[in-house]
Structure 1
Amino acid sequence: MARTSIYDRISEKRLAAEALARQQAEEAANAPAVVIEPEPVPVLPLQPARNELKVAGLALLMPQGFNFRDIDTTLERDGHPVTFGAKRRPAPEGLTLQRSADIYVDNLRKYHPDITIVRQSDCLLAGNPAISVDYIFAANQERRHGRAISAIIDSANGSERQWFSVSTVINPDLPALASWLIDFDEMLSDIVAG
């Protein structure tokens, strides 16, 4: 029996591997595409009359008849301040999500004329379509990075649409705050109905 050279055997293996790869590619192209659908995000309505704050494990329930409008607070990480805000207003008919983001930016410019919009993108807030706006500005000779996420959400009783916005501002040059915007986004993705 005549044995072929090592180069012929290597060439035969390469040609066989290429033929197998072509065959698998053709089979994959002809096979029905498998689409993995992401799990739907639950759409959470606002309940304007139900308000509570949980701070350090203590729940503070607001009295009946008092509706949440603005929360502006300062959090702290390793001694460095992080501002956090949440706002709610009735959304007039015809107010679009893009227009609400434009109004938000216009209001920011009143206080920070040097503001620069870094990024604007579509996202979800409590399962509702939202717009995220990242911006930078200077405060007391220091750089600040802000992120605001706004949505127009139906109220639980269906009587009125609500504009809802959650925001944060940090000094991005502080190493202790390097991961805050990631934490902020994760915190918002974990919003649940109460």
Structure 2
Amino acid sequence: MATTSIYDRLSQKREAAEALARQQAEEERVAAEAMSKMPVPVPVLPLDVGQNAFQIAGLNMRVPKGFGFREIDTTLEFAGCEVTFSARRRIAPQGLPLARAVEGYVKNLRDLHVGMTLVREAEGLLAGHEAIALDYLFTVGQERRHGRTVCAIISSGDELSRQWFEVSTLIDPDKERLADWLVAFDAMLADITAQ
């Protein structure tokens, strides 16, 4: 009977341990890869139409109870340039699908800005709710404008209180300093939180 030396047995144990470690590492890699492909759930944030506030330059202004937010139009400064920002909320009729509501919104844009060109329409999320993002171009006098609007219909608590919610921005696309604004706008919308 042939016996193996202690060095051979140690070598076999070491090789077996290395093979097991390689197998575990491969299984962990495959599991991590599978997890990275799984979509991260986005929290669905409800609207609370009776709770409104603004934060400007670090100062918080709370709107008294009983006052509902309908519309905000403001001018922001980004990279030394002016951009417009607006947010609107309206009651959405029962049974009105988002796609049809967006069609109406685009029709209103075309009525308001003759020659408006719809550049992109993409599905996405706004505060965890199904949304449609629109990019469009139009002119004001001799100046071009690029608009981006993100639209959603959000149920605020019960199915009887569906709300149309839109957030928009307009920029002068010819100003190089505004090249990063739409990226910052999208990031701002992605960071919406609820109180």
Fold match by TM threshold 0.5? yes
Letter in 1 for 2:125: L
Structure 1 residues 158 and 96, CA gap change in structure 2 (3 angstroms): closer
TM-score normalised to structure 2 length: 0.80
| Other-structure match for 1:84 | 85
TM-score normalised to structure 1 length: 0.80
Unaligned regions of 5+ residues in structure 1, if any? Answer: 1-30
| Other-structure match for 1:50 | 51
| Mapping of residues 134-173 of structure 1, within 5 Å | 134-156=135-157, 159-173=160-174
C-alpha displacement at 1:34, in angstroms? Answer: 3.5
Q: Distance in 2 between matches of 1:34 and 1:59?
A: 43
Partner SS state of residue 42, structure 2 = coil
| Mapping of residues 6-25 of structure 1, within 5 Å | none
| Other-structure match for 1:14 | none
Alpha carbons 2:94, 2:160 under 8 Å: kept:
no
Partner SS state of residue 151, structure 2 = strand
Letter in 1 for 2:64: P
Alpha carbons 2:78, 2:181 under 8 Å: kept:
no
| Other-structure match for 2:73 | 72
The number of aligned residues is 164
| Other-structure match for 1:41 | 42
Q: Distance in 2 between matches of 1:131 and 1:111?
A: 20
Partner SS state of residue 151, structure 1 = strand
Partner SS state of residue 102, structure 2 = helix
Question: Between the two proteins, what is the percent identity of the paired residues?
Answer: 52
1:110 and 2:121 matched:
no
Q: Distance in 1 between matches of 2:53 and 2:127?
A: 17
Q: Distance in 2 between matches of 1:73 and 1:100?
A: 24
Q: Distance in 1 between matches of 2:68 and 2:193?
A: 19
Alpha-carbon displacement from aligned partner over 1:11-41 (angstroms, at most 9, x marks no partner)? xxxxxxxxxxxxxxxxxxxx99946312100
| Other-structure match for 1:99 | 100
Partner SS state of residue 102, structure 1 = helix
| Other-structure match for 1:183 | 184
C-alpha displacement at 1:176, in angstroms? Answer: 1.0
Task: Tell me which stretches of 4 or more aligned residues in structure 1 moved more than 6 Å.
Answer: none
Partner SS state of residue 46, structure 1 = coil
Partner SS state of residue 146, structure 2 = strand
Partner SS state of residue 94, structure 1 = coil
Partner SS state of residue 182, structure 1 = helix
Q: How large is the Cα RMSD of the aligned pairs? A: 1.7
| Other-structure match for 2:130 | 129
